[in-house]
Amino acid sequence: MLYLGEGSVRVEEIIESMRNARNKVEYMLVWGRDKDSLQDDSFHEYIHDALEHMRRVIMEWRGSRIFGGSIFKKASDPIADILGGKSKEFYKVFDELCKGRIGLICTGDRYSSPFILFNDPSCYVAALANPSSKEIFYGYGLMEAWRADPRIHDLNGKGIGAFTLLFSSSIAFMLTLYIGAGLAKAREVSRIFDPNDALTSNLKEWAEYTSKGIWPGSHENQRKAMVALRGYLNAWFDFLKDSSWLEIHHTLHHGKVIERDQSFLDTATTEISETSRAIILDAGGMFSAEEMERRDRLRREKQLEWTLLRIALGILYPREKARIREVWEREKRKVNWRYLEDTYYEEIWDLIRLHLAGEDISASVEEKDARTLGRWHFIFNKKAERPREKVVELEKMDIERIFERKNRLLGMLTWEGVGLPPDARWHDVVSRFRKIMIKYHPDRVEVTGVNLEEAHKVTKTAIDVFRELEIIHDLHPEIFGLATLQTEQEV
């Protein structure tokens, strides 16, 4: 048995662990040709991108055809330097993997451990190569965590996702074992793609989390993530419901264009992370050394807690989305799933919100057809209703009074006791409002720990202030970002 991991593990243990996984149906083909395994297509794009990244790097060493049929070859091939004559065999199996002739299979208990086998932090199996069956196995939870990991690593001077770096490093390791080049050579080849040895650090980190029972794929962390995600979506949909077309355009639609599949999730987890960091005040002159040390320790604990929650959210989102897709396609809607994703992205999140709240999404799906889809799309052509009295009142004010009112309202959008400055841009106003809603929305008190009465009071004030600022912005967008009026500046 050739495996990626730590400690001396008996072959029988690994076989038994994988047999148990197959019995639990946690045995999914994620790349390559189907061999009587259930398939999980959600990893395909990630694996494809990682392999393409490796191919681009490798082609510089192997040589590539250019105009005229000539071949350019780089002077040095680090893989050949390490593997010698076996480098051709390495390149051959890499090509077979890229073409899907070697299967990648996820196995293991995805909810209690990221590993195929875990005895203790010094004895585990993360991946396994089986040349006889042309298969490479990975811990299911490990792959999910890599896909959901929000950290960005730097490789060849370019920031790339954690999955690309960790998968590239690990698959280089496994392919070296696959051709029988040995463990020492596998480590050297892996470091070509991962010079800082992030893979080893990552595996040890997951081993520590698993031993402490705080693995982000666990049911408890998934429950916390579900509460956080549900609360976030409820706050977000309340915002959508009462917002004007302008705000929805700049928050929902703009995010969808930039990063369609993850925009909501990334926004939610970023807001959660910022909320946790804001709990710790950075005011060195106010506290003793002991108090600053205590606060720093609390900050590190909060960062760990919210990092785990963010990864759990990243694992939860694809699972819930897959469930919604399964129900949708079973109902054989006239609007296919891809069209739904591209056109009514927010509709999917509405269904996910209902699903997380325990409602029957089959009934909700049954109510929807081509005519009833897109409950928010009409807002792009129609503004939400406003209190007519407030609009008229603001319309009658001269520009100086409007400007003073704007500055006063900015000061009322407080966060940790501090309001926005007079020169805050409209983007700053929207960000502050969302941050307040994320922390104080009544649906999120289980996660934030905020008193329910206080949550209702703070959110009501924030909504009233924001709605009035929104009217002012529609009337005079040019005054946002200014500390003083232009006429005053000229004097």
Alpha helices in 331-416 (DSSP H): 337-343, 345-356, 361-366, 388-396, 399-412
Tally of CB atoms within 10 A around 331 = 12
Euclidean distance between CA atoms 344 and 322, whole angstroms: 16
Long-range contacts of 219-225 (CB under 8 A, 24+ apart): 219/111, 221/308, 221/309, 221/312, 222/111, 222/312, 222/315, 222/316, 224/309, 224/312, 224/447, 225/309, 225/312, 225/313, 225/315, 225/316
pTM of the complete model beyond 0.95: no
Cβ atoms of 175 and 93 within 8 Å: the answer is yes
Is the CB of residue 440 less than 8 Å from the CB of residue 448? yes
Collapsed DSSP state (helix, strand, coil) of residue 51: helix
Helix then strand then coil, in percent of the chain rounded to 5, is 65, 10, 25
| Helical pair 345-356 and 219-242, crossing angle rounded to 10 deg | 130
The pLDDT value recorded for residue 126 is 94
What was the pLDDT predicted at 382? 45
Strands 117-120 and 103-107: unpaired
Q: Give the model's pLDDT for residue 166.
A: 94
Give the number of other Cβ atoms within 10 Å of residue 11's Cβ: 9
Q: Is 309 within 8 Å of 225 (Cβ atoms)?
A: yes
Q: Name the H helices within 245-387.
A: 245-248, 254-258, 263-278, 289-330, 337-343, 345-356, 361-366
Residue 69 carries which side chain, given as an amino acid letter? G
407 contact partners, CB below 8 Å, separation of at least 6? 422
The set of residues, in sequence order, having a beta carbon less than 8 Å from that of 18 and lying 6+ positions away, is 27, 107, 108, 116, 128, 137
Bridge-partner residues for 124, per DSSP?
Answer: 6, 118
For residue 447, which of 294, 302, 252 has the smallest C-alpha distance? 302
DSSP reduced 3-state for 89? helix
Nearest to 303 by CA among 275, 282, 263: 275
Positive/negative CA dihedral, 454, 455, 456, 461: positive
- How many whole angstroms separate alpha carbon 270 and alpha carbon 420? 20
Q: What is the distance between the alpha carbons of residues 266 and 254, in angstroms, rounded to a whole number?
A: 13
Nearest to 172 by CA among 97, 108, 77: 97
Cα 26–Cα 43–Cα 165 angle in degrees, nearest 5: 115
> Domain limits of the chain?
2-212, 219-380, 388-490
Beta carbons within 8 Å of 180's beta carbon, 6+ residues apart: 2, 131
Per-residue model confidence (pLDDT) at position 301: 80
Tell me the C-alpha distance between 193 and 369, whole Å.
48
Measured between alpha carbons, how far is 29 from 108 in angstroms, rounded to an integer? Answer: 13
What pLDDT score was predicted for residue 48? Answer: 93
Phi-psi region of 451 (alpha: psi -120 to 50; beta: other; left: phi over 0): beta
Euclidean distance between CA atoms 183 and 346, whole angstroms: 48
As averages over each run of 10 residues, the pLDDT of the chain (491 residues) reads 83 83 80 77 90 86 48 67 91 94 90 89 92 92 87 66 91 94 92 90 92 88 86 72 58 45 60 60 64 78 80 86 86 77 73 85 81 58 62 86 92 88 87 79 74 88 87 88 70 41
Contact 425, 210 (CB under 8 A): no
CA 154 remoteness from chain centre: 18
Q: Do 450 and 440 meet the contact criterion of CB atoms below 8 Å apart?
A: yes
